[in-house]
């Protein structure tokens, strides 16, 4: 049994590597998917730096002992993540919309290998984007914020920075999985934008539904980027990123299940 498995793995590996290289080439050759990760970094770091530079002093006076500098350090994620969502959706659904998915599946007949290669490349780009934007926000905040607001030697600084990068990585996986399921950019964006940016705010404002709203992807995943709770209904930071990981895993499992049964 183990010998058969080893032989099958040896056959799949070169196909997977070739498929991954092809996906990397496709992403680089399309202007939108080539530039959206860079736009994500610029938006997140730029908005965060501006907020840290012009809001931090007043926020500290207003909040007093409840002041949480990291709410400002990673504030730009609320805006820049929209570009990363668009990247993940277009990297997947763009092929369905243009019809090139047929040639891609002809080149890689094993649909699970094709989906795994595409998800791997998209996730790697999302991860690098998250790391770069996280480090940019942290270092820029250290330069522009009042002395003492954040310290590069603090474990809190690097916990929130890690959470920033992890959240964007998992968000990329979730959105790519959703795009595989819905297969069109319009349907994917139509679901993800309200879910991530409007649905959470609406649900968490309704008494009796807040307990459910706190487990939505953005609400749970972004908690690790702050030290303090906004309200009593928020989850623990590490539980929150764990919930976000479960959303991403569910998206991958659904993708691998559905792609085998659907026609291109």
- Tally of domains in the chain: 1
The answer to the question of residue 147 being in a domain is yes
The answer to whether 73 and 150 are in contact (CB under 8 A) is yes
In a domain, 1, yes or no: no
**Cα distance between residue 146 and residue 26, in whole Å:** 44
3-state secondary structure of 125: helix
* Average per-residue pLDDT for the chain: 89
Are 127 and 169 a contacting pair, CB within 8 Å? Answer: yes
- Give the HSE-up count for residue 9: Cα atoms under 13 Å, Cβ half-sphere: 6
Q: Which domain holds residue 107?
A: 13-258
- Residue 153 resides in a domain: yes
Taking only the tens place, the pLDDT of each residue in 185-212 is 999 998 898 878 765 666 666 666 667 7
Q: Lowest mean pLDDT: which of 89-103, 140-154, 177-191, 230-244?
A: 230-244
pTM to 2 decimals?
A: 0.91
Residue 207: per-residue pLDDT: 64
Domain for residue 38, yes or no?
Answer: yes
Q: Is residue 160 part of a domain?
A: yes
- Position 5 in a domain: no
Residue 8 in domain:
no
CA 130 – CA 200 distance, rounded (Å): 22
Q: Mark out the alpha helices in the chain (DSSP H runs).
A: 2-29, 31-63, 69-73, 77-98, 101-107, 111-144, 155-182, 185-193, 200-204, 210-213, 217-221, 237-258
Read off the pLDDT of residues 31-50 as tens digits, 9 standing for 90 and up: 999 999 999 999 999 999 99
């Amino acid at each position: 049994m183990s010998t058969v498995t080893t032989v099958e793995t040896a056959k799949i590996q070169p196909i997977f590597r070739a498929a991954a290289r092809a996906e990397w080439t496709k992403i680089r050759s399309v202007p939108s998917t080539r530039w959206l990760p860079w736009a994500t970094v610029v938006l997140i770091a730029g908005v965060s730096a501006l907020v840290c530079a012009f809001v931090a002093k007043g926020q500290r006076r207003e909040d007093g002992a409840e002041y949480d500098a990291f709410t400002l350090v990673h504030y730009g994620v609320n805006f820049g993540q929209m570009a990363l969502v668009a990247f993940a959706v277009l990297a997947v659904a763009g092929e369905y919309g243009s019809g090139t998915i047929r040639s891609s599946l002809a080149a890689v007949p094993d649909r699970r290998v094709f989906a795994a290669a595409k998800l791997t490349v998209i996730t790697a780009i999302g991860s690098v984007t998250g790391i770069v934007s996280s480090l940019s926000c942290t270092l820029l905040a250290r330069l522009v914020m009042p002395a003492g607001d954040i310290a590069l030697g603090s474990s809190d600084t690097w916990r929130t920075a890690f959470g920033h990068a992890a959240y964007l990585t998992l968000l990329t996986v979730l959105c790519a999985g959703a795009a595989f399921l819905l297969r069109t950019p319009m349907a994917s964006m139509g679901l993800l934008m309200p879910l991530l940016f409007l649905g959470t705010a609406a649900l968490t404002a309704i008494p009796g539904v807040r307990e459910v709203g706190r487990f939505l992807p953005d609400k749970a995943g972004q908690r690790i980027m702050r030290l303090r709770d906004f309200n009593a209904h928020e989850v623990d930071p590490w539980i929150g990123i764990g919930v976000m990981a479960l959303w991403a895993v569910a998206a991958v499992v659904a993708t691998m299940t559905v792609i085998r049964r659907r026609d291109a």
